[in-house]
Structure 1
Amino acid sequence: MSHQPGDPADSPVLAAGCVLWRRSPYDGGLEICLVHRPRYDDWSYPKGKLKRGETALEGALREVLEETGHHCTPGPRLPMSRYQVNGRPKEVTYWAAEATGGTFVPNDEVDRLIWLPPTAARNRLTRPRDRDQLDAFLETPAV
């Protein structure tokens, strides 16, 4: 069976997430939140697929809360990530977001969370393409 352009199978999977950040409670230095997803055994930013009728920003904030237990204040939009998943295009829209409080509780989707200085976070990211958002974040005047 061949797909025609415009078929639902050709439309991108839409997702959103945040480069979640805070000031270290120890030394005031910048820290980036990364989550570990056991299903993929990867370290990445909190993100996920949009629900029907949800805007990208609403989805990003919901995913941060679901995956990290933290509320956040969104800041500048960051570069979109585009890649293929199971033969379908996926587009993930990102924002910088400052953590404003919360508590992480491990769950089936995310079993670990770490706060790291930017260089350590860059090195811990599983996928090199995720570094684009961190690099753009570090260039924003928001932090």
Structure 2
Amino acid sequence: MSPGPGPGPGPGPEARGTVRAAGCVLWRPAPDGGGVEVCLVHRPRWDDWSHPKGKIKRGEDPLAAAVREVLEETGHHCAPGARLPTARYVVDGRPKEVAYWAAEATGGAFEANDEVDRLLWLSPGEALVRLTQPRDRDQLTALLDTLPRT
């Protein structure tokens, strides 16, 4: 048996220095009926375009955190779907893990705030080009693989 906290909720990864976060690749049917649109958010602090995501609160379920972050950052409610690949990278010298889900937007309206000042609904091709971090493209590609072909 190994010492230390296990992989469950609570202090586990944080105790080892890993920042835990969760988010969604938010999508909706395109208004013209031709496929889907993907939501990207602009974070002025980093001047980047990304999927809505944020840190998991102590004791919070990762999926609940992802849905909460979508609402906080986009103003949209969502219906989570398939689990997408986890992103792993280093920020300010600390490892970070972001759990992602596909999520269909079910209603709401965006209002700019301190964390997110702009939101775009883009075709998947436009979103692939707009995403600032190449690692975020993996989740978008995975989302497209989960959606039914029309």
What is the deviation of 1:15?
A: 0.1
Which among 86, 89, 100 is matched to residue 95 of structure 2? 89
Structure 1: which 5+ runs fail to align? 1-5
What is the deviation of 1:53?
A: 1.1
Equivalent position amino acid for 1:130 in 2: D
**What is residue 20 of structure 2 aligned with on the other side?**
14
**What is residue 3 of structure 1 aligned with on the other side?**
none
**What is residue 37 of structure 2 aligned with on the other side?**
31
In structure 2, C-alpha distance between the alignment counterparts of 1:127 and 1:32, rounded to whole Å: 16
Listed as ranges, the matches of 1:91-130 within 5 Å are 91-130=97-136
Which among 41, 54, 65 is matched to residue 59 of structure 1? 65
**What is residue 132 of structure 1 aligned with on the other side?**
138
State percent identity of aligned pairs.
69
In structure 2, C-alpha distance between the alignment counterparts of 1:88 and 1:70, rounded to whole Å: 30
> How many residues were matched structurally?
138
In structure 1, C-alpha distance between the alignment counterparts of 2:31 and 2:125, rounded to whole Å: 18
In structure 1, C-alpha distance between the alignment counterparts of 2:141 and 2:33, rounded to whole Å: 22
Give secondary structure in 2 for the equivalent of 1:26: coil
Structure 2: which 5+ runs fail to align? 1-11
CA contact (8 A) 1:76 1:142 kept: no
The two structures, once aligned, show a CA RMSD in angstroms of 1.7
Which among 44, 47, 50 is matched to residue 53 of structure 2? 47
Equivalent position amino acid for 1:11 in 2: G
TM-score (norm 2): 0.87
